[in-house]
Amino acid sequence: MKLIMPFKLFFALCLFSTIYSFGQLKIEDLKVNYGYRITQNRNVEVIIVHSTYNIQNDDKYNIDLVLKQFKLYKVSSHYIIDREGIVYRLVDEKNIAFHAGKSRLPDGRTGVNQLSIGIELINSHTDSPTELQIQTLLKLVTEIKNRYKIKYVLRHSDIAPTRKTDPWNMNWEDFITKTSIMK
C-alpha cells in the first residue's frame, strides 16, 4: 500500500500535466473597458482572424500601444496573440466585441460581431505571424470549436473584402487544413 500510493500520485500528476499542456491553452486576462457591449445568451457561430500592430512608432509589436489604438477607435477583439504566442483575453466571449465592422458572412448575414469571436494576431503588413503565434492560434481555434457549433472560421478580409486585407502574410489554406484535423 505504501508503495502503490506514490505511483498513483505520479500517474495522476502525469495525466494532469498532459491535459494541461495539450488540452488547455493558457490564457492571460487583460480585460479592456472599451470596444465591446455586454450581452446575454448570444450564439457564437463564427471565428474571425485579424492582424494588427502599433502604427504610431517603431515599437510596432508593443501590446500596450496596440491596445491604446483600440481604445482610441473604441474597438476590441476577444483575444489578441503576441509575437511570443501568448494569448490575452480582452473581452469575455459572452460579450460582443467590436472587431468586424461593416461586414457580411458567406451566407449573407450581416451583424457579424453579434455572432463571432474575434482573434487578433500582432503582425504588420511587412511581416508574417510567428510560428509561436500560429501554434497558439491553432490551439485557441480548436478549443473554441470544441465549445460552440462553429459554422465559419474566416479572415477579416473574407467578410469585408472591399475594406480589409488582414490577416496579413499568413498561409491561410495551411491553417484551415490544420484546424480541420486538430481535435
Angle between helices 131-145 and 172-181 (to 10 degrees): 40
- Provide, rounded to whole angstroms, the least separation between the CB of residue 76 and Zn ion: 12
Judged by the rule CB under 5 A, the positions of this chain that interact with Zn ion are 50, 156, 166
Smaller CB separation from Zn ion, 82 or 166: 166
Dist CA 110 CA 141 (whole Å): 22
- Provide, rounded to whole angstroms, the least separation between the CB of residue 170 and Zn ion: 12
Smaller CB separation from Zn ion, 139 or 156: 156
Contacts within 8 Å (CB) and 24+ apart, 91-94: 91/31, 91/32, 91/35, 91/36, 92/31, 93/44, 93/117, 93/144, 94/39, 94/40, 94/42
Smaller CB separation from Zn ion, 113 or 136: 113
The C-alpha R_g of the chain, in whole angstroms, comes to: 18
Smaller CB separation from Zn ion, 144 or 154: 154
Smaller CB separation from Zn ion, 4 or 52: 52
- Provide, rounded to whole angstroms, the least separation between the CB of residue 50 and Zn ion: 3
Distance of CA 174 to the CA centre of its chain: 17
- Provide, rounded to whole angstroms, the least separation between the CB of residue 79 and Zn ion: 13
Smaller CB separation from Zn ion, 24 or 171: 171
- Provide, rounded to whole angstroms, the least separation between the CB of residue 155 and Zn ion: 8
Contact between 48 and 33 (Cβ < 8 Å)? no
60's CB contacts (< 8 A; 6+ apart) are 53, 54, 124
- Provide, rounded to whole angstroms, the least separation between the CB of residue 24 and Zn ion: 27
Strand blocks (E) in 19-134: 27-29, 36-37, 46-52, 79-81, 87-89, 96-97, 116-122
